[in-house]
Amino acid sequence: METSQDRIIIFDTTLRDGEQSPGATLNVEEKLKVARALAKLGVDVIEAGFPYASPGDFQAVQQVASLVGTEDGPTICGLARATQKDIKTAAEALKPAAKKRIHTFLATSDIHLEYKLKKTRQEVLTIVPEMVAYARSFVDDVEFSPEDAGRSDPEFLYQVLETAISAGATTVNIPDTVGYTTPSEFGALIKGIKDNVSNIDQAIISVHGHDDLGLAVANFLEAVKNGARQLECTINGIGERAGNAALEELVMALHVRRQYFNPFLGRPPESTEPLTNIDTKQIYKTSRLVSNLTGMIVQPNKAIVGANAFAHESGIHQDGVLKNKLTYEIMDAQSIGLTENQIVLGKLSGRNAFRSRLRELGFELSETELNKAFIRFKEVADKKKEITDWDIEAIVNDEIRQPPEIFRLELVQVSCGDSSCPTATVTLRTPEGEELTDAATGTGPVDAIYKAINRVVNIPNELIEFSVQSVTAGIDAIGEVTIRLRYNNKVYSGHAANTDIIVASARAYLKALNRLYSALEGAKITESTLKN
């Protein structure tokens, strides 16, 4: 295992903690797509899931371990509570990976001990070394997390960490589980561990934190200054509640402010060596992929990857940037892989030109996927004169990266206006292959479409989010629609793109319903298996 302390290890938990965002659930194929993108991005460790949580999670971790956990790829990690069943299941799922890590955890704060675990401090001091040693019997790379470390008694925390390292933990992770600490407090916590845990030099200090007060990234950067060398983060900062520390913000902060952070890693300030192994030019593509697959929209003013991150509205700013970018830009948009919005293809462009451009944009498609995307490209090119890289990306994401097509949209037609009642007619192909048509009225054309679809599909649900974004400027721009609906306290998302936002709205809604339908059918199968 690498124990170098002069660079920062990036541990990505998009597939584990990030997937815990309401509505962000991914299937195995989608998780593989994200894992491959993360490997290309250059993350050091991928936390692929919580194998004991469900058969689906086990399968996803196993698949990522097998197909992405290659010799030259990232370490693949599985989460496990400090129990033998969890740890053994994680070890089994991780078997195919060339480099594997078991990440086990147990709470250490008094509030968690009393109300959640119902255990004493002494019991924790007994369980931790036993379970770390058990994990170490399966893999050489073991990470231990004292859950809710930020609210734990420091002296007790030092004891727990010391026993974990003595038992074989190679990384100790300090989580701010509830996003409560401030940067100075978090920095002091890491410094206290560095100064008071006698065997801390035998392990790497990691940090994990949530963004409930908007301080996760700041906390992590302060932790780096005090000795943390692994950062646990997610793409776009997705995760439970307000999310996790955002990978792109951490990486670019360390990249742009290298001269400031170099001395804290024992380097001369002027060193130009990267502080992480991340290929920053893959950041934007990875951000878009995760956003599209999870249905978690990136807000326009989001740092680094938001649509407005490199936009200048103020006349003074525009004037300065035109004269010299450095007047108002601290980094180049191209450094995160955001290319100029150039016109690259038109309706006369052939398959080879389309395939070549896809490769330049980082898309590796199978022959079947290429055919589907090319047909869709031609359809869009007939309606839209100027096709940009962003349009191509939207086409591929909409056509290829989608849930199984159970209910299929065959026809959508609307009638609306300021003096008429919005009416929609839809025709759907059911899972049994039957074509069903129905119509409905609504407060607007989209509402009418959704009511008509509901009449055919007949699955109760509550629409909780409807969002439309333009991919590029212009009246003929492709519109991207994201839908989130709720059923039985779970959230399901759908995403679609089309030059006609009415069609995109229908397709996005149907994708969300297909996810819901798949989940309900899966639950029925599981229930039937358990009964038998």
Q: What is the pLDDT of residues 314-359, one digit of tens each?
A: 454 444 544 555 555 578 888 888 765 454 677 777 888 888 888 7
CA distances from 353 to 359, 361, 373 (A): 10, 12, 13
Q: How open is the CA angle 393-470-414, to the nearest 5 degrees?
A: 105
Q: Are strands 100-107 and 204-209 parallel, antiparallel or unpaired?
A: unpaired
The confidence score (pLDDT) of residue 227 equals: 97
**Cα–chain-centroid distance for residue 24?**
8
Which pLDDT belongs to residue 3? 43
Pair 77, 45: CB distance under 8 Å: yes
Distance CA 91, CA 69 (A): 14
Phi, psi of 325 (to 5 degrees): -55, -30
Q: What is the 3-state secondary structure (H, E, C) of 230-295?
A: EEEEEHHHCCCCCCECEHHHHHHHHHHCHHHHHHHHCCCCCCCCCCCCCCHHHHHHHHHHHHHHHC
Sheet containing 462-470: which strands, arranged edge to edge? 462-470, 479-487, 490-498
pLDDT at res. 402:
63
SS3 of 23-86: the string is CCCCCHHHHHHHHHHHHHHCCCEEEEECHHHCHHHHHHHHHHHHHCCCCCCCEEEEEEECCHHH
Positions of the chain with pLDDT lower than 50, given as ranges: 1-4, 312-314, 316-319, 321-322, 341, 343, 526, 529-530, 532
pLDDT of residue 393: 79
Query: Among 124, 110, 207, 137, which Cα is nearest to 164's?
Result: 124
Rounded Cα gap, residues 46 and 67, in angstroms: 13
Q: What are the angstrom distances between the C-alpha of 407 and each of 240, 423, 511, 524?
A: 30, 21, 8, 18
The shares of helix, strand and coil residues in the chain, as percent rounded to the nearest 5, are 45, 20, 35
Nearest to 280 by CA among 256, 251, 307: 251
- Residue 159: helix, strand or coil by DSSP? helix
Cβ neighbours of residue 498 under 8 Å, at least 6 residues apart? Answer: 398, 478, 479, 504, 507
Strands 435-441 and 343-345 turn out to be unpaired
507: exposed, middle or buried (C-beta count within 10 Å: 0-12, 13-18, 19+)? buried
Query: Beta-carbon neighbour count of residue 410 at 10 Å?
Result: 12
Q: How confident is the model at residue 302, as a pLDDT?
A: 94
Q: Crossing angle, helix 445-457 and helix 501-531, to 10 degrees?
A: 30
CA separation for the pair 421, 415 (Å, rounded): 8
CA angle 435, 441, 445 (to 5 degrees): 90
pLDDT of residue 405: 78
In this predicted structure, what is the pLDDT of residue 326? 55
